[in-house]
Amino acid sequence: MKKNWLVVANSARARVLEVEAGLGQFTSVADLVHPQSRIKGVDLGDDRPGHVEGQGHGLGSAAYVARTDPHTREQDRFAREVAACVNDGVANGRCVGVTLVASDPFMGRLKSHLSQQARKLVLRTFEADYTTLHDAELAQRLLTHG
C-alpha cells in the first residue's frame, strides 16, 4: 500500500518518514546525517585559494576565489542526497505524496533537486527545523500548522 512521506530536514540531518494512519505514528524510511555541513567553511577547504605570482616587471599577483564557498557546497551536496532518496521513493511508487519540513534556506536547496515527478507530489511545505523532535511532538507541531 502506497503512503505519504514526511521529510524533516536541515542542512546536516534529514529524516524521511512514512506517515501511518494514526496521529504521530511514523515509520522510518531513512535517517541521513551529513556532519560536513556543520564544519566551518575554512576547515572544509583543502588549502588557501589558488595564487598566481606576477611575471615580469611591475605585474601584481592574482588570487583565485571559488564561486561557492565550501560550506554552501556541502549543504548542497546533502540536499542532493536527500532529494535522491525522495526521488527514488517516488519513481519506485513507494509514496503518493510528500510533505517537506525543512529549515530556511535548506528548503530551497532541497526543492531545487527534486525530480519533476516528485515536485508534483509535494502536498505541503513548512519552513522550520524540527529535526530534533520526537514523533509525537512532531505530529503536534504539524497539526498546529494546519
pLDDT tens digits, residue range 58-106?
Answer: 555 555 555 667 778 889 999 999 999 999 999 999 999 999 999 988 9
For 96-138, what is each residue's pLDDT tens digit? 999 999 998 899 999 999 999 999 999 999 999 999 999 989 9
Closest CA to 77 of 118, 106, 47, 101: 106
Q: Is the per-residue pLDDT at 45 higher than 70?
A: no
Third-level CATH fold of 3-41+66-145: Nucleotidyltransferase; domain 5 (3.30.420)
Tell me how far apart the alpha carbons of residues 29 and 63 are, in angstroms, rounded to a whole number.
Answer: 45
For the chain, the structural domain boundaries read: 3-41+66-145
